[in-house]
Amino acid sequence: MKGAEFKGETALVISAALRERAQGILDALKSANMSIVTAESCTAGIIAAILSRCEGAGALMHGGFVTYTKQQKFMALGVSPELLARDGAVNEEVVRQLALGALDHSPASLSLAVSGVLGPAEDEDGNPVGLVYFCAVAKDKAPMIVREDFGSHPPDELLRHAINRAFDLIQAAIIGFVTKPSG
């Protein structure tokens, strides 16, 4: 509907602080001669969306995979269906496989994956609200994996925590992967 207005709804607005953080990440990627792809579950592509709104994103952001269901994690990025059936979707190995799968399916040199439970209730496997795993990996480098338990908070607050922690990990990965030897 051309020119349609959404009465009573607000547009998705990225705060100046988040946009500034994202711009800093893209600037660091450019300085390190790196590019990025994301594999997002509980954040449903919002990290990629925020990065894409920054100057230089077209050259540094290859895109993102939104793999919300177990089936999509397997089909899009090759996460082991046996692992998903046995251990669920929120754990260190799943987030590692998501990050590696995204890297394998993209020309990017760095990937960031996130899988967790942002509420309002625990997931189908009984994982608690606030449990989130993050993984950053670069080609020929060991993955950097972080587990966070943000506790039980409203979903929007948990989402903000997850985005900020993901940005922290990306920044650490850029520094770590540029200055550390392979392996």
> Tell me: the pLDDT tens digits for 79-133?
999 999 999 999 999 999 999 999 999 999 999 999 999 999 999 999 999 999 9
User: In which band, very low, low, confident or very high, does the pLDDT at 13 lie, cut at 50, 70 and 90?
Assistant: confident
Give the pLDDT band of residue 182 (cuts 50, 70, 90).
very low
Q: What is the gyration radius of the CA atoms in the chain, in angstroms?
A: 16
pLDDT at 178: 78
What is d(CA 122, CA 87) in angstroms, rounded to the nearest whole number? Answer: 15
User: What pLDDT score was predicted for residue 177?
Assistant: 87
Q: Are 77 and 114 spatial neighbours (Cβ–Cβ below 8 Å)?
A: no
Q: What is the DSSP string of 89-151?
A: SSSHHHHHHHHHHHHHTSS-SEEEEEEE--SSS--TT-PPTTEEEEEEEETTS--EEEEEE--
Strands 36-40 and 61-66, sheet pairing: parallel
Helix (H/G/I), strand (E/B), else coil: 66: strand
| Boundaries of every domain in the chain | 16-22+35-178
What is the C-alpha to C-alpha distance for residues 77 and 67, in angstroms, rounded to an integer?
8
Output the average pLDDT for the chain. Answer: 92
**pLDDT at residue 74 greater than cutoff 90:** yes
Question: Is the pLDDT score of 179 beyond 50?
Answer: yes
Beta-carbon contacts of 78 under 8 Å, excluding residues fewer than 6 positions away, are 97, 101, 104
Tell me the pTM: 0.91
Mean pLDDT score, 123-145: 96
Tell me the fold of 16-22+35-178. Answer: Maf protein (3.90.950)
